[in-house]
Structure 1
Amino acid sequence: MTTSTERVQSHIPAETPELAHFIGGEWVPSHGVFTLTDPNTAELTGSSPVADSDTVDRAVKAARAAFEEWRRTTPRERGEYLNRLADRIDEASEQLAQLESWNVGKPISNAREEIPLLVDLLRFYAGAARLGENTAAGEYERGMTSIVLREPVGVVGLIAPWNYPLLEAVWKIGPALAAGNTVVLKPSELTPYTTVVLAKLAASVLPAGVLNVVLGDGMTGAAIVDHPGIEMVSLTGDGGTGKKIAAAASNTLKRVHLELGGKAPVLVFDDSDVEYASEYLAMAGFTNTGQDCTAACRVIVHDSVYESFMEKYVANVRRLRVGDPADPETQVGPLVSERQLERVLGFLERAGETSARVLTGGSRVDRPGFFIEPTVLVDVNQDDEVVQKEVFGPVVTVQRAASEEEMLRLANDVNYGLSASIWTRDLSRTIRLTKDLSFGTVWVNGHLTTVAEMPFGGFGQSGYGKELSGRSMDEYSQVKHVMISQTRV
């Protein structure tokens, strides 16, 4: 494993914005109360305001006022707005990438790869806005003509995570605005910077009040969920937060969309390309420092190729370059915060009290910042905490199994159901397993890739509802049946 220790000072981007709420087209300052830290150096970098219930109420009122006109825009008009916003983001791509890298601790090479994805996503929804409800109008009762309308829900509250602050925000903003809703968006308190820049870019494109941003922590999120003027809440976050939001939202019977955690199984079979799989999965397990709900974190290998796979896989993991996120050569950066660092170290400490054995990594990196070595654990038991719970850090477990049936059993034996991958050349096996694996996304001879056209979302403790694709437009829409009497008009 290579580490980059020559640069440990804080690389604050030149165009770092002042943090403030964006409500009704205006910047609303307030005193900073949440301290922000550079994950790369552990140095304090500033503070962020936290919106209280009154500030959230102001944002909701602005969104409701804007909704009256925004809902009347045509799909073509909304598509034009989204395309213009995509243009602005494209123009600001390097600023956004540098801010995201610095604030999250994400390698700059990864941050630069993400910006074109969200530009493409906005352009996709600009087109999807023009696709209406598929049910055909017609006479389903004599003398009566039926029409189905897809209408916006209203004001939606969007709560984005810290691991992909900008990308995940656009995953929600795109379909929400395309469907005709107005938005109150809250980024994670840890990673507000790119969302504030997004608000600035949107201010030059969207009508005032269509997109509002409130900064804050769990208190702010609770105010959004509790507000009676918000008709829907969409969260990307951990399972505990999802359960709290679902329970709180029941008080006002608002719609809830939850994209929660994952514990992705990776099934490596005896007929797989071991050389390719070992190299690919070393990347897929530790991208974004393992802070990815789809990370290839639970590898299950057939006995007959276990030894050869592990030799190559561990060698590839050890070659990962750990260091300064601003360095284009860095592949694994720091964890996002000291709290996250301590959480992952706690998993490793408790795993050490079991039969688990560390093949590589397992320790904090000796440098400033919140770094942990990419870690591979073997000899784990299926009921071990490190196998069953989402670590959300640079930790991968590897298990071995003697048959397809055992591999499938191990794969499905968790509460999460977000994503999985199969590594095989056998078409019959592929067909069987893609059906039998209880996960919302199943990749074959690949992992991590998402596209705008295909739905993304999990089963079980991974939440409900779909991101991406035209299906997510349905999440942010409500369907109305209009029936007209032919004899009375």
Structure 2
Amino acid sequence: MIVANFINGTSSPAADTSPLIDPATGVEFGRAAVSRAAEVDAAVSAAATAFVSWSRTTPSERQQALLKLADLLESNAATIADAEVRETGKIRSVLVEEEIPQCADQIRFFAGAARALSSASAGEYLPGHTSYQRREPVGVIAQITPWNYPLMMAVWKIAPALAAGNTVVLKPADTTPSSSVLLASLAAEVLPPGVVNVVLGDRDTGRLLVEHPVPAMVSLTGSTRAGAEVARSAAATVKRLHLELGGNAPVLVFDDADVVTAAEGIVGAAFYNAGQDCTAASRVLVHTSVFDSFVEALVKVASSQVPGFDFGPLNSQAQLDRVLGLVSRSSGLVHCGGRRHGSDGFFLEPTVVSGVSQDDELVQEEAFAPVITVQTFASDDEAVALANGVPQGLASSIWTRDAGRVAALSARLDFGIVWVNTHGLVASEMPHGGFGASGYGKDLSMHGLEDYTRVKHVMIAH
């Protein structure tokens, strides 16, 4: 099989292709297009042409189209799940029962949000003149998504951009292109040609898209390294940027927390999607008085997780090798895991490492794997210092029964998300995004929609 681009409402092959590898087996099963300048230019041109009419549609028209797209997504869930499982190794039931329904809900949220954009009231701010503000679509949006949630990240990008009246050229990760192409083909059933385009390819394809003079904005979900590269490439044409980058979430477990409940919740949030989640509960900080009992409970729960049943493989051999290197170079005590699971595919054993120092590579870098580190703290101040002592600032969680502590620490934690006695849950109505090396811009919520608009002041002389 060959996965082709989707440009101007139709499948569009490219001369070059690259292999697609099933990460659960390590075996090649197909190939995907690798787009170069001609394909990128065709997609951008199609989006620019479509923008002329799509940007003038009413919010009601955009809402109806997005609602139909959500219905199509649900009715084609099995086909999309099959494609995404083959390229990611995800647990199929999780895709069908959790991720695809969330995607449909997120599209429906932005369908409604399209009719709820607000702006300042018109008024006379200078004598004899009336002023008002317009929220307008930005234009053609270049969007780049990662391999950990191919469909969901495509939805997070496409839905708010379309709701605001923009058109899109999306480049998914080269290892996981199929679900994005399927989403675009479904969109073509309810949207004009050129509104949603997908170009497949490698890092060079992404660079061509970012540097193309037509797109007015670049939206990326990816690593901090990728974000820095995109920012440099976009600078020459002064494009707007929306960057949702890597995370390295601290999990603060206090002495009044229920140790068993916390361990169960943290393992679930750390190993979901094989830990390949920018909000994964990977960096646990535990009060010294409950450290031993918590680690015992954590290791017991973690050790019960079965690769291939409870979570899937890592994305590639390169990712597996990277994580194995991080664990092997750590100064901490490996309680469980730290090794490859089986001989087929790219599975890693569930891993817990304690006694790591703050400057340990495994603490400072995002592992993006089923790996949990455990450190201790003796005071609230020390907990906050350890939590904030990394470059990333996407997500965090606090496990305690003390409401006053929650109020105080949630203000001090330098992360865009703070969960309390839970971790990793997402609501369409709430913003998702971080600070520092985790980038800027918000996905989901009205903030996510507003990020895809520009504001114009209109003044009329009486």
Which bin holds the TM-score, normalised by the shorter protein? over 0.9
2:160 corresponds in structure 1 to 175
Alignment of 1:263 onto 2:239: no
1:18 Cα offset (Å) = 4.5
1:396 corresponds in structure 2 to 372
Partner residue of 1:273 out of 246, 258, 275: 258
Opposite residue 443 of structure 1, the aligned amino acid is W
Partner residue of 2:450 out of 450, 468, 474: 474
1:312 Cα offset (Å) = 1.1
- TM-score (structure 2 length as normaliser): 0.98
Opposite residue 119 of structure 1, the aligned amino acid is A
Alignment of 1:386 onto 2:375: no
1:366 Cα offset (Å) = 2.2
1:367 Cα offset (Å) = 3.0
SS at 2:456 equivalent: strand
Alignment of 1:118 onto 2:103: yes
1:432 corresponds in structure 2 to 408
Alignment of 1:414-429 (within 5 A): 414-429=390-405
Partner residue of 2:39 out of 43, 50, 55: 55
2:53 corresponds in structure 1 to 69
Partner residue of 2:135 out of 137, 150, 173: 150
Change in 2 beyond 3 A, CA 1:98/1:26: closer
Alignment of 1:219-298 (within 5 A): 219-298=204-283
Alignment of 1:100 onto 2:84: yes
1:32 Cα offset (Å) = 4.7
In 2: Cα distance, 1:444 partner to 1:61 partner: 46
1:231 Cα offset (Å) = 0.4
Partner residue of 1:458 out of 434, 455, 459: 434
Name structure 2 gaps, 5 residues minimum. none
Alignment of 1:207 onto 2:203: no
Alignment of 1:192-203 (within 5 A): 192-203=177-188
CA RMSD between the two structures = 1.0
1:365 Cα offset (Å) = 1.0
Identity %, equivalent residues: 52
Any conservation in 1 of the 2:119–2:134 contact (CA below 8 Å)? no
1:30 Cα offset (Å) = 2.1
Alignment of 1:333 onto 2:327: no
SS at 1:454 equivalent: coil
In 2: Cα distance, 1:319 partner to 1:342 partner: 23
In 2: Cα distance, 1:435 partner to 1:360 partner: 34
1:407 Cα offset (Å) = 1.0
Any conservation in 1 of the 2:135–2:454 contact (CA below 8 Å)? yes
1:11 corresponds in structure 2 to none
Opposite residue 285 of structure 1, the aligned amino acid is A
SS at 2:141 equivalent: strand
Any conservation in 1 of the 2:44–2:169 contact (CA below 8 Å)? yes
Aligned length: 461
In 2: Cα distance, 1:184 partner to 1:391 partner: 30
User: Residue by residue, what CA displacement relative to the aligned partner does 1:45-93 show, whole Å, maximum 9, x if unpaired?
Assistant: 1111111011101111100000000011000100111001001001011
Any conservation in 1 of the 2:328–2:338 contact (CA below 8 Å)? no
Partner residue of 1:132 out of 107, 110, 117: 117
In 1: Cα distance, 2:428 partner to 2:107 partner: 9
Name structure 1 gaps, 5 residues minimum. 1-16, 324-329
SS at 1:22 equivalent: strand
1:134 Cα offset (Å) = 2.6
2:421 corresponds in structure 1 to 445
- TM-score (structure 1 length as normaliser): 0.93
SS at 1:62 equivalent: helix
Opposite residue 374 of structure 1, the aligned amino acid is P
Any conservation in 1 of the 2:172–2:180 contact (CA below 8 Å)? yes
Moved more, 26-35 or 444-453: 26-35
In 2: Cα distance, 1:98 partner to 1:318 partner: 29
